[in-house]
Amino acid sequence: MTGRAVRMPTVDDLAPALAVVRANLPATPVVPTENALLKLESAQPTGSFKVRGALAALAALPPETAGVVTASAGNHALGVAYAAGRLGVPATVVVPATASAAKIEALGRFPVEVHQHGGGYSEAEEYALELAARGGTFVSAYNDPHVIAGQGSIGAELREQVDGPLTIVAPLGGGGLLAGLSLWAATQPDVRVVGVEAAASRAVSAAVDAGRIVAVAVGPTLADGLAGNLEPGSITPAVIAEHTAALTVVSEPEIRQAIRFLAARHGVVAEGAGAVAVAAVLAGRVDATGTVVAVVTGRNIALPVLAEVLAGEVD
């Protein structure tokens, strides 16, 4: 598959994206935990931070746009569905057959066309690109300057909620969130951003190390929202390589521990992808400057999976 030509985001994209987000979403809460703060993007109306980038991308469409097509492991699809309803844009979403049952059920509450295709995110994305080629604008979950800028609005909110130097710890899958936060942090003198991958899927760190997009093996992971290879020509690794302070990784047991920690200590439901930043903090893998903020990015976990994780070893 040949890569699309996608414009690199700039700091000039941040302000209009933030304006759209603020017009449609309240700020999410920040709560204290052990030696850190939690930024609860799980409190978003779709259960995930992805709605920020979706709103920014759909608001930036030309007026003559007929509709949008996207691919997602679930949360970006929900974000696009929500944004499409708010902004009056027709939308088609493609999710892999392996997408969380909770996310599929949630999509049924929105007036969007849903396709399930392929055994993983990469296959779903390729099919969505084929659909978009027949008519529609493709909105990537990560490889889009407006999506990236929309995710960066988390940083602007944090700047108003937390005083002093910050180390923001965020999950890393396709890199839209980390790229957005890192781009915003480049405008701040006292903010560091650390990205956290699941050990089973490390596409962005591999691309950063190689200086180009490379295929990686993707194993089974509770952090299904982070799993998959990158679209050819993706812009996120370049942004991350330039602006992100550090990348680290967590294991499946550490992700499970973080989910249990959030539920037991804070009454917060987090999906696997949503808990990896907390997992890295708990495991001592974050070199902190100032206040550490772990972004809890989503809550959309199937109840049987959540029950199985919570029934595991007590922390």
CATH number at residue 99: 3.40.50.1100
Is 159 in the same domain as 266? Answer: yes
Is 29 in the same domain as 66? Answer: no
Indicate whether 2 belongs to any domain. Answer: no
Is 36 in the same domain as 82? Answer: no
Indicate whether 288 belongs to any domain. Answer: yes
Indicate whether 187 belongs to any domain. Answer: yes
Predicted local confidence at residue 307, as pLDDT: 96
Of 239, 219, 237, nearest to 227 (Cα)? Answer: 219
Indicate whether 3 belongs to any domain. Answer: no
Is 39 in the same domain as 175? Answer: yes
Sequential pLDDT tens for the chain (315 residues) = 567 899 999 999 999 999 999 999 999 999 999 899 999 999 999 999 999 999 999 999 998 888 999 988 688 999 999 999 999 999 999 998 887 777 788 888 898 999 999 988 788 889 999 999 998 999 999 999 999 999 999 999 999 999 999 999 999 999 999 999 999 999 999 999 999 999 999 999 999 999 999 999 999 999 998 998 998 999 999 999 999 999 999 999 999 999 999 999 999 999 999 999 999 999 999 999 999 999 999 999 989 999 999 998 654
Indicate whether 315 belongs to any domain. Answer: no
Determine how many CB atoms are found less than 10 A away from the CB of residue 62: 6
Is 124 in the same domain as 160? Answer: no
Is 56 in the same domain as 42? Answer: no
Is 171 in the same domain as 239? Answer: yes
Indicate whether 1 belongs to any domain. Answer: no
Q: Write the DSSP symbol of residue 229.
A: P
Domain limit, last residue, from 117, 138, 159: 138
Indicate whether 6 belongs to any domain. Answer: no
- Tell me the pTM: 0.94
Is 157 in the same domain as 299? Answer: yes
Of 228, 161, 176, nearest to 6 (Cα)? Answer: 176
Q: Quote the CA–CA distance of 97 and 20 in Å, as a whole number.
A: 32
Helices 203-210 and 236-243, axial angle in degrees (round to 10): 70
Write the CB contacts of 75 (distance below 8 Å, at least 6 apart in sequence). 46, 47, 48, 49, 50, 103, 225, 273, 297, 298, 300
Whole-Å CA distances, 270 to 121, 192, 222, 303: 20, 24, 11, 11
Which residues span the domain enclosing 258?
Answer: 11-48+145-310
Quickly count helices (H) and strands (E) in the chain.
13, 10
Is 30 in the same domain as 44? Answer: yes
Is 101 in the same domain as 213? Answer: no
Is 290 in the same domain as 303? Answer: yes
Is 95 in the same domain as 178? Answer: no
Q: Quote the CA–CA distance of 267 and 49 in Å, as a whole number.
A: 19
Domain limit, last residue, from 138, 165, 183: 138
The total of structural domains in the chain comes to: 2
- DSSP-derived secondary structure for 58-121: HHTS-TT---EEEE-SSHHHHHHHHHHHHHT--EEEEE-TTS-HHHHHHHTTSS-EEEE-SSSH
Domain limit, last residue, from 122, 138, 154: 138
